Chain A
Amino acid sequence: MRKHNQYSEYSNWQVSALVILRVLIGWHFLYEGVVKVLNPHWSAAGFLNASQGPFANLFKGMASNSGVLEVINFCNQWGLVLIGLSLIVGLLSRWASIGGMVLLFLYYISNPPFIGIEASAVAEGSYLIVNKNLIELFSLLVLYLFPTGNIIGLNRLFASRK
């Protein structure tokens, strides 16, 4: 017989799997962010300049304007850190999932593995249309639709007060 969690319709196994997925993605975001925040020389310029595909000019344009680039660098670094933290601790993680999806979408379309576009230097594997950014993006969509912050996570503190 299925053992259900008292706060949700998920089984304990389902909760565990979702929380683990949430924490793993959170870890990934947090580490990417922290590395960039703590490296004074880091800039998105290299990534943006390597952009290919239909939006390449837009991204390259961003890299060419130092003011815009500074804003992008700041938002990206701290966006990654905050999304990562939020996913790990389970606080406002639905919002974090949306934020993460936005970032991943931008990464995806800046270097999309579309038909006829050569693998960029930024990619570490072989991809066609589907790449890891896209998979992580849809994983976050799953986390958004199946939130667990109220079950295992700081959100539970607020949820309990209701």
Chain B
Amino acid sequence: MKNWLKVFAFAAIIGTLAIAYMWFFVYNKPHKDFEKANPDYVISAAECYNHYSKDKNTEENNYTGKVLQISGTPTSIESSDSTVVVVFAFNSGMFGDEGIRCTMLKSHNEKAKKLTSSSSIIIKGFCSGYNDTDVILEQCSLITK
């Protein structure tokens, strides 16, 4: 094989691999698996809500954008369409109850619907912040004790 052909073939292979890498691991990289992710913080639901409602600015940087594992007794379970939200209420304001609202991963919807407001639970999810009434957790999963 001629030398220039070898160089060309080598460059073509490297190029294809680079494009494949970009396509699968950069452009189409999967969302973080929050069910398997290790929590950045393990705290009680009350502690989490109090931090945000009392000192929003300090905690904005600490918990927002992080994986939180919270424990507490839910006050209600809201279910609409394919969305199930587990609510820990600690206060009351213009938008009704205020606290922590956890949107469950679809695979945890059925388990979440069966929860009662008498048992303590542990939930892990991605904290998207505080909207002046509630702390919002997304893509949550129930942790079996």
Chains A and B bind each other = no
Chain B residues engaging chain A, CB cutoff 8 angstroms: none
